Structure 1
Amino acid sequence: MELKSVNAMSDVVAETITAEAHSPERILKRMLAVIREHMDMDVAFISEFTNGQRNFRYVDSPYPDQPVQEGGGNPLEDTYCQRVIDGRLPEFIPDASLNKEAQELPATAAVPVGAHLSVPIKLSDGSLYGTLCCFSFQPNTALDDRDLGMMRAFSVIAADQVERDAKQRQERNEITARINAALSSDAISMVYQPIYNVAKEALVGFESLARFSMIPVRTPDVWFKEASQVGLDVPLEIQVIKLALPLIERLPADCYLSVNMSPKLLLDAEVRSVLEEWPAEQIVIELTEHSIIERYEDIAEALEPLRARGVRLAVDDAGAGYASFRHILSLSPDIIKLDMSITRNIDTDHRRRALAVGLIAFAEATNTKIIAEGVETKAEMAMLRQLGVNKAQGYFLGKPMTAQQLKEYGF
């Protein structure tokens, strides 16, 4: 066996060991490429048997016009695969022209099929999924039992990945159903946490926060993460923002509403049109810290017309991770929000104080406002005041409230 083939097969095995880092599709397609190249075949594929049909799930071939295509299929009875499974054909055929049963199949001449290897893919419950196959257009007498042994070994890997793929698809379908159910019901509600200028003892704004009342119970960050996994993050975020913004009608003109927004949503035209319906000077966009931004120039361009109207930008969770610092340096926000990982125990932890001092000094030098998040004790608030932070939010100052509860406070 050539060194190149050994290395390629080792790579496939390594990817299966670290399967969580690679998709089943990537592993299976890489495996087919290794099989085809190592055995000098023209086509390698994985088929699934369903309702009397052979369906091609994964295919590798350098020939785009060859008849085996992903998504295609044909009646199972007319195939090499069925005859290998029921024993009418051997798993290993170096020259199909010398096999009487193979000669009776129309595909042998039509494709044509020269050499053919096919092994069953059996799932963990013992059921038959389909076959792992490869063939060449010409006979290949160089193939031997070691190649068949490799095919059988790879069929075990294929079975594991097929089951993993099926599990992921099922989970994806369940998540999609959950998110769509939330979007089409009244399961999403809003709460609003007050933000104070402590030095002036004045309320300056509210941060809007989503709550989900559906079963299974999940925290909002899990809902948004799952929505992102199935491509429903933008619809979910837009729904939340539409639910949050009407509070502005009940706020004084000098009081703002802060809405959380991912960079992906910010680039969506629909959300910009939604924001345009409300007073810009009362809206603060909180750019979520955990989101990766590939091209800051695109975000800046999307923000430009909004900021020109008076919408302000805040970078959320500053200090919780590297992304927040990139956001701050690249987007010049109006507000930097100190993450609760910094404010928590800041009165007793000199390291947290040192990090806060650095961010506060940066804000002063760039004419940026600082808001401390997650303030839970009088001592934390006192230390933040001592460091020069006057605006804050947290349970010490006020818990998130529903729109109905806000009415009791005159809003």
Structure 2
Amino acid sequence: MANGNGTPPSIANLRDRRRRDAPATGLDAELLAQIVTTQSEIAGAGLDPKKVVDIVTRRMQEMTRSAGAVVEIAIDDEMTYWSAGGSAKPHEGLRLPIDGSLSGLCVKLGTVLRCDDSDTDPRVNRAACRKVGLRSAIVVPLQCAGTTVGVLKVLSPQPAAYDSRDVAILEMFSAFIGASLHHALEHARLRAQLDANDVARNLRTRAHEALRERVSALIDGEHFVNRFQPIVDLRTRKIVGVEGLTRFDAAAGETRADVFEEAARAGLGTELELACVRRILLALPRIPPNAYLSINVSPATVVLAAFEEVVASNACERIVVELTEHAEVLDYAALIDRVAALRGLGLRFAIDDAGAGFASLRHVLRLVPEIIKMDVSLTHEIDVIARKRQLAAAIAMFARDSGATLVAEGVETAGELETLVALGVPCGQGYLLGRPVPLDALSEYLR
């Protein structure tokens, strides 16, 4: 005949007699000492979640005289044995479906559940109970701020091993354990996030350092070559100027724009520009004396004192500074002042890619260049597209009226050349007139 909880009379009577025979004050004192010790141990574990749960399983197993104890965590649709002690220790890491288990039901309901006999309790996963040797159990939700962070389960291989006293002990500890575990898990989550951020930051730092080293090696070793393209009078075909160009190692698979973009990301964009300018200016003594040498420089570099130092030791009256950047200039006053000072040294200025966008037109209007270079997009098929001829004619008229020399870029066909001459464009450059070549080969265009 079983009692109300389904406990066989012999087992119930044995437990009641054992507890009744123990001195009440002694039991209370022992329990109080265990509670204090457990709380101190958990507090001493700090914010290490695994240490916290290991203490919980060990202490709750001892205080309820259980064969084993488990802290389970709900992950996705499964309950995982995160920490296990006693008879449950070999099953640490076991994963079971939430549905159809007493632990899963505890998570859903958020209340204490007691199983007196897994062989007859319909709420349990009977196969899992047999696997871990569970016949009776108490499952307590571990909650903090209304959130169930896991469950604590004590278990026994015997039926009806627990009574209301055991439930009371676990209930008394559940809030404290839940809060401790919640804080430890939250700390671990934040720590992991910070660690991930540190890793990402370190990776970015190392990548940036590697980029700087690569660009610095490019600059220091001058791993680039120069090519020179003639700029000619379209009527006489005589060279009036030469544009100095920089070409980087083709084996690297990078274009000139790619290299300068990398240099800018590395914070070495100006250094790379100045290195290219220094290298190109070495060719100035070998350029025909009646021709100028055009160098490509961004406005951001032109305003630097370092740029003036690079060009000042050369025959500045033979140097044309071709402003290449399409980005908006943030401080035009500073740029205008520097351009005026550099003109005092004899430098002349050209605006590149006129007609391609608003930035180049703004440069033309505010900097009043000596040379205006008409963008290749206007030159291409100008002999067959009327709109291009109309815009080119307007730019040519503006150049004449402002005293600037107009140079058409990208002249590649005889039809384009004839049309440009007819429109009154005085100068041009492009593959039809001369490809970019090494300095030694430039003499071919001088014959």
TM-score under structure 2 length normalisation: 0.56
**1:121-175 C-alpha deviation (Å, 9 max, x unpaired):** xxxxxxxxxxxxxxxxxxxxx9764999999999998788767655544543332
Q: Which amino acid aligns with 2:441?
A: Q
Alpha-carbon distance, 1:248 to partner: 1.4
1:3-402 correspondence runs (5 A): 83-88=46-51, 145=147, 165=201, 168-213=204-249, 215-402=251-438
Answer yes or no: is the 8 Å Cα contact 1:182–1:214 preserved in 2.
no
In 2: Cα distance, 1:327 partner to 1:396 partner = 28
Q: Considering fraction of residues, name the structure with more helix.
A: 2
Identity of aligned residues (%): 32
Moved more, 142-151 or 242-251: 142-151
1:225-273 Cα shifts (integer Å, max 9, x gaps):
1111111011111111111012211123321000000111111111101
Q: Once the two structures are superposed, what CA deviation does each residue of 1:9-62 show, in whole Å capped at 9, x if it has no partner?
A: xxxxxxxxxxxxxxxxxxxxxxxxxxxxxxxxxxxxxxxxxxxxxxxxxxxxxx
Q: Is the 8 A contact 1:194 1:207 kept in 2?
A: yes
| Equivalent pair of 1:187/1:214 in contact (CA under 8 Å) | no
Closer/same/farther in 2, CA of residues 405 and 144 from structure 1, 3 Å limit: farther
1:132 aligned partner: none
Superposition RMSD in Å: 3.1
The amino acid across from 2:323 in the alignment is L
For 1:150 and 1:329, locate their aligned partners in 2 and report how far apart those are by CA, in whole Å. 61
TM-score (norm 1): 0.61
Letter paired with 2:375: D
SS in 2 for 1:175: helix
Residue of structure 2 in register with 1:3 after alignment: none
Cα 1:155–1:309 shift into 2, 3 Å? same
Residue pair 1:261, 1:288 contacting (<8 A) in 2 also: yes
For residues 261-286 of structure 1, give each alpha carbon's deviation from its aligned partner in whole angstroms, at most 9, with x where no partner exists. 01111111111011111112100000
Return 5+ residue gaps in structure 1 as ranges. Answer: 1-79, 91-141
Amino acid at match of 1:327: H
Distance in 2 separating the partners of 1:335 and 1:321: 17
SS in 2 for 1:260: strand
Q: Matches of 1:404 and 1:269 in 2, distance apart?
A: 32
> Does structure 1 retain, via aligned residues, the 8 Å contact 2:47–2:188?
no
Match of residue 21 from structure 2:
none
Structure 1 residues 87, 295: closer, same or farther in 2, change over 3 A? same
1:84 is paired with a residue whose SS is: coil
| Letter in structure 2 aligned against 1:307 | R
**Secondary structure of the equivalent of 2:434?**
coil
The AA in structure 2 aligned to 1:375 is V
Retained in 1: the 8 A contact 2:299–2:325? no
- Separation in 2, partners of 1:216, 1:287: 27
Q: Structure 2 regions of 5+ residues with no counterpart?
A: 1-42, 54-143, 149-181
SS in 1 for 2:252: coil
Structure whose CA Rg is larger? 2
Q: 1:342 to 1:143 in 2, by over 3 A?
A: farther
Classify 1:236/1:364 alpha carbon distance in 2 versus 1 (closer, same or farther; 3 Å): same
The 1-side partners of 2:357 and 2:414 are apart by: 26
Helix, strand or coil: the match of 1:176? helix
| 1:56 match | none
Deviations 1:153-203 (A, max 9, x none): 999987887676555445433322221121121411111000001113210
